Structure formats: structure tokens, C-alpha cells
Amino acid sequence: MPEPAEEIVVGITHLRDTLGIAYQHVANYDEPIIVQRYSRKDVIMVPMWEWQFFKQLEADIRAGHCPVGREKGGRCPCSESVAGVNEPTGGEGTTG
């Protein structure tokens, strides 16, 4: 996949005049376009597949499913210990 390009920002007035061209750019190049109205950049045009992917990812996270998947042994890297936190510390049942 190519390196992400700089953000493309389009003023709302200009977008009204060039919506067809903006649509073609997003569809043909898989690059989002940020729509600017006054000084706010609240809207972004993205390819449909990308929007659907992120909506599914959001739904999975809200439902409590791990979006990363399971590592070997059935452990979820999202909910398990991070860098040794909550790992056994050598108490009962360990050797060494």
C-alpha cells in the first residue's frame, strides 16, 4: 500500500462546484478528502469499503469483541496483561 499522502482539504463552496471530481478522486485513488466549512474540518469523504470496514470495527469493539484477534493459546492481546503486568510473580505453584 502506498504511503499516506498529505491531507486533501476542500472548502465547502468549492466542493459544491466540484463534487463529481471529488467523488472520482476518492473512488479512483482510495484517498480521502476532508471537507472544510469555514475553519472546521468535520466531514471526510472516504471510499465505501473503508467506511464499512471502520463501522464493522466500531461495532465489534462496542460488542466487546477483540478487533485484533486471538494470539496463540486463545489469549486476546487487548484484554490480557501488558508487558508483564498481572503476570504470576513467583508465588505458589511456580518454580525458580
Q: What is the pLDDT of residues 3-58, one digit of tens each?
A: 666 788 888 888 788 888 888 999 999 999 998 888 999 989 999 999 999 999 89
Residue 67 placed within a domain: no
Residue 50 placed within a domain: yes
Residue 41 placed within a domain: yes
CATH number at residue 25: 3.40.1620.10
Overall domain count for the chain:
1
Q: How far apart are CA 37 and CA 59, in angstroms?
A: 29
9-17 contact pairs (CB < 8 A, 24+):
9/33, 9/34, 9/36, 9/41, 10/34, 10/35, 10/36, 11/36, 11/37, 12/36, 12/37
Range of the domain at 23: 9-62
Q: Across residues 64-78, what is the average pLDDT?
A: 65
pTM of the model: 0.54
Residue 1 placed within a domain: no
Q: How confident is the model at residue 75 (pLDDT cuts 50, 70, 90)?
A: low
Q: How far apart are CA 5 and CA 20, in angstroms?
A: 21
